[in-house]
Amino acid sequence: MPQEYGLFIDGKWETPKDAKRFSTRNPATGEELGSFVSGSAKDAERAVTAATKAFRAWREMPAPKRGQLLLRAAEVYKRRKDDLGATVTQEMGKVLPEGKGDVQEAIEFIEYMSAEGRRLLGETVPSELRNKYCMTVLQPKGVVAAITPWNFPTAIPNWKIAAALICGNTVVFKPASNTSLCGVKVVRAYEEAGLPPGVLNLVTGPGGVVGDALISDPRVKAVSFTGGTDTGRHVYSKGAEHLKYVHLELGGKNPQIVLNDANLELALDGVLFGAFGSSGQRCTATSRLILQEGVYEKFLGMLLERLKSFKVGNPMDREVDMGPVASADQERKILGYIDAGTKEGAKLRAGGKKLTGGAYDRGFFIAPTVFEAKHGMRITKEEIFGPVLSVIKVKDFEEAVQVANDVDYGLSSSIYTKDVNLSFQAMERLEAGITYINAPTIGAEVQLPFGGIKQTGNGGREAGTSAIEEFTEIKTVFVDFSNRLQKAQIEG
């Protein structure tokens, strides 16, 4: 029997009467990892009640003190990094160094946010009148819903939770169902750190039930969602019915451009990590390799050569370069795209199939796949979220930028060149929230804003200082100490 876990509401772990349950499974082995409550709309409502009740005392706690509590949670994560990293790997399939990297990203973000507790900067600006101060202060929004994906099951929840908490919000957290054990462990660190009851609540269960209940609850003032574009559209429109602040981080179709003058070895390491890290299941994953014609054959040859020794297997095994994809659904969708690519006439150069035989039969393994594709095919335009790379030939820098930009998404982008002018032109012209020069499309750091343009989001950024904007309201304050009525715009 797998271990049973409850919901975390108002500081207590609990299993509602007659609760339905679901399990998560290791995508490499099929092993059952835990049993979780399939939360109901009522459970979500109770969690919001707890968060609402806890809000006043939490917002009144001085922000530096909130920061100290956050730091304690970071300490717990540090102590548990190996265990938690292994849980990430076992529950969603990225290789162990990346599983631990996920936790490390959570730790770094919490540390960064805890120091924000000593800033939360407002402005003071001159008044047009005498004896009057004009300033802004940042205030929390209230109860925040954090709805998070399975691909970064400890980092992304913390991008939302730690940022919301430092600003004085309380949180109801709904993790992706297939990484519920990670969700439980994310919350336990805050519990151990001594967070007051109700400040952070966890409701596991289906998005269509728990997520929708949170978005529709008028007491929830902000929703921060990371996930697929279709779900994002649903979250946004449902939030709009309630005129609710909604932050979205959605898909990507990220290009790596390699120009004729590039350091090819470096670009090769970059594309292997960018395309096949986390089995291509990062929003920032490289899914298009745009090669200038002068290096096309050579670079493609180098890539195919390296893939011959690329090992796919159990992600807990040190020798393995790439683990499984996260679930049966993922596998089906990715294989569907491989099929579509073949049908559209893209030339399959590596992989292109489910791996079978021996231990592979217990999990969802797909061989790292490379297509020579023509820009415009579905595999070059739609987000696949798997280990599938489309290689596209272009004449020159101009065409590279045009192809790179001709997609609906705009999260990350990368260019390899030694030409300073072209790298700055790329920085200016690539339509993406993030541009890397001589580095892969993945690997953003937490102290900088993260997010994208076009259908990648709705204009906001998370992490970095933008995280504070995401979770605060600006209060504008005028203090008149003249002891008489002063009329702005009327007297001079």
Residues in contact with ligand UN1 by CB under 6 A are 105, 151-152, 226, 282-284, 442-444
User: Which residues lie across from 288 on neighbouring strands?
Assistant: 255, 390
Contact 261, 417 (CB under 8 A): yes
Shortest CB 156 distance to ligand UN1, Å: 6
Query: What one-character-per-residue DSSP string does 224-293 give?
Result: EEES-HHHHHHHHHHHHHTT-EEEEE----EEEEE-TTS-HHHHHHHHHHHHHGGGG-STT-EEEEEEEH
Alpha-carbon distance of 349 to 301, in angstroms, equals 10
- Distance of closest approach, residue 226 Cβ to ligand UN1, in angstroms: 6
Which is closer to ligand UN1, CB of 226 or CB of 390? 226
Q: How far is the CB of 27 from ligand UN1 (least distance, A)?
A: 17
Residue 137, judged by CB atoms within 10 A of its CB (0-12, 13-18, 19+), counts as middle
CB closer to ligand UN1 out of 104 and 204: 104
Q: Which of 98, 105, 167, 283 is an active site residue?
A: 283
Which one of 98, 249, 331, 383 is the catalytic residue?
A: 249
In the complex, what is the shortest distance from the CB of residue 444 to ligand UN1, in angstroms, rounded to a whole number?
3
CA–CA gap between residue 393 and residue 375 (Å, rounded):
9
Active site (annotated) includes residue 249? yes
- And the tokens for 102? 């996920």
Nearest to 309 by CA among 348, 268, 248: 268
Closer residue to ligand UN1 in complex, CB, 70/442: 442
Render the burial of 84-119: b for 16+ CB within 10 Å, e for the rest.
bbbbbbbbbbbbbebbbbbbbbbbbbbbbbbebbee
Pair 384, 287: CB distance under 8 Å: yes
Cα distance between residue 431 and residue 241, in whole Å: 30
Please identify, using beta-carbon distances, which residue of 169 and 254 lies nearer to ligand UN1. 254
Between CA 124 and CA 129 the distance in angstroms is: 14
Q: How far is the CB of 71 from ligand UN1 (least distance, A)?
A: 21
| Nearest distance, CB of residue 472 and ligand UN1, angstroms | 23
Specify the residue, 2 or 460, whose C-beta has the smaller distance to ligand UN1. 460
Please say which residue, 151 or 170, places its beta carbon nearer to ligand UN1: 151
Catalytic: 134? no
Q: Are 246 and 239 in contact (CB under 8 A)?
A: yes
Q: Show which residues are catalytic.
A: 249, 283
